[in-house]
Structure 1
Amino acid sequence: MNGNRFGRLFQLTTYGESHGDAMGVVVSGCPAGVELSTEDIQRDLDRRKPGQSMITTSRGEPDEVRIQSGLQDGYTTGTPLGMLIENKDARSGKYEPFVTAPRPSHGDFTYSAKFGTRNWGGGGRSSARETVNWVAAGAVAKRVLEASDHDVRIKAHVSQIGDVEAPEVTFEEMLEHSEENEVRCAHPETAEEMREVADQHQTAGDSIGGAIYFECRGVPRGLGAPRFDGVPARLAQAMYSIPAVNDFEYGIGREARTTTGGEYNEDWEFDGNGDPTPVGNDHGGVQGGITTGQPIYGEVTWHPPVSIPKSQRTVDWETREEKEIQVVGRHDPVLPPRAVPVVEAMLYCTVLDFMLLGGRINPDRIDDRPGEYDTDYHPRSPENVDD
């Protein structure tokens, strides 16, 4: 199976199934000299992990990360970072009825049709559990950017659940309020309404879709390339890779379909440094696939979770029978609240990859590591060889 790697210079390669022994990610291309700890990664994993509230799955996973390679004395060495997160609370028995009877709108049949087999416990590789790896990699990318000379800041919040849509909020409001409620909406009053909608669907044995708004601040101009390596193209790949994402848009997004050229085009002026800059930012920080230096912003849409306890119809491809099924287990009634750290992680990974490709960050080492390197050190000197 291919398709388990993302990135050009900053690469993450992931492995693991929902009910396997563990999830894991190998990050290649992380510069040496970046101060990094388990706590840096755990903070974001805790934001994604299950069991945070009544509107998330009750699966009891601590999601504790172990850094297995690429770190020495609290700093990255430039070699691949290996990270492992064990699965502690997998219960595969409830999935046995679906071994040859696919759940509606899941990857059960398509995986089996392609490979002739699959890990059916919890959805196996197709489960959103796999995004725990992405969040771990995103935490590393975030630390690299924080250690660089660039003030890149990324934040997201839940902008809609069902027909409840949050009003426009500022970047500062997202930073201040999005983690104050379990819905992760930066508008507190709307968050309460969203919570009620999620509760209603959960009580009815159903689920509901939603959306996440994001912003990337401090991304320098000139990143990206025309056509297949344009920033929107790579962002779209990152966002559409997230399970259950149905739509990705940047800038004014779908509003562009009813906008005239005269309305959409942005004049040019000189900024405070005497550099040309667009007047306005309907383009979402990108023109011609290349960053303008303005904020990159957009929205990602999720379809409702397809694991619901309502009675549904399927077929058994071995017995050739039609049957009624009920998907029992521990599932989220709405996905965006737990997906906010996933979106942020993939944005950090994508932006860092572009900055490494564009030469904005030294791909070999971060130069602000404290202390001096011992140029006289030799690993085979007698005093440096263990008996």
Structure 2
Amino acid sequence: MLEPDGAVRLVSTYGLPQNLASAWHRVPSDLNVAFLRAVTDGRPLWLVRTRAAELGYELLGEGELRACIPLRDGGRTFAVASILWAEGGASEAGVRAYVGAVAEACGRRLSQLLRKGGGAPVASPAAHWVEAVLETLPGSFALLAPVRDHDGKVVDFRFDRCSPDATDAAGRSAEQICGRRMLDLHPHATTNGIFDGYRHALLTGEPFQSAATPTSVLTNRGQLPVVLSTRASRFGDGLLAHWQYHDSERRMASHLERLQRTADAGWAEWDLVKGETTWSAHTYRILRRDPARGPVKLSALPRYVAAEDATAAVAAIHRLTRAGETLDLTLRLHREGVPSRVRVVADPVVADDGRVVAVHAAVHLLSEGDCAPS
């Protein structure tokens, strides 16, 4: 039986010496073993000992000939049978056909034993491991099963399990995605590198990751441009995949930028524990500071204030950071010879022990130019 990490676990033997059954109890996926190759390729593998040695396979046990045959349920590999002959050379076509038929029958019976009480087909051997995990994951995650052609080549993936929040750009829910083929839902995956990346991850075990990239998806409204990132890792005989659409983030950032320009407002954050400061682009413009120089510490903010308001600014910042009081001040600035009036509203972030650990602020430009004292 296949396990989630790609290893195989022994579930049944006949005529196998006890010491060999013990050695085969669990075979890790990183060993160069013939029956693991048959699982990866998805097609039967017949080997004589000399040929196996040429290919570098580690043969466990005696025997001159062996066959490694993937066992399938609903078109997917969930286990593998290994049959050994003490003597014999290359097998005849009739023998191969007979052994293949026996293995198919064994696969059907094993899948029946593994079915749930409701008679559901065998899912990925990783499904019962990952199902509880998927139930707790926010966002879009899925366990993908490879779909192979008669030669064992991976030609598609099927969504076996999905996290509850999984959705795609066409608005399909997890229930509408599960059981469907990836290329039926997302034919664009063959042109943007995702399908090839997934297939490479399955065959090599190397994780695949695609950064946020503009692409298009087919919806009932036609082609829809989106920004998509995805990653996938081999899990059992399939892939555990995650995807995310970044369009809402991009649109939100665009909306926020337009609002800041319209309102002449910006925002700033000071992490007083890590000593990190972040300003929006519009805050630099309001305070007339070169973005290349980066933001300034909260304690240095009074430097931007006109001399007559500096004392009030220092006192307000002290109350904000020491007593956790909200700051709401209108201050006069005089930067690069240009006077202006700004309103600064800042809220403290207070830890459980009462310490102010961060400050979140908004800066609003009220006027610019000739600002008389108020």
Q: TM-score, normalised by structure 2?
A: 0.21
Richer in strand (by share): 2
Q: TM-score, normalised by structure 1?
A: 0.21
- Structure with bigger RCO (C-alpha 8 Å, 6+ apart): 1
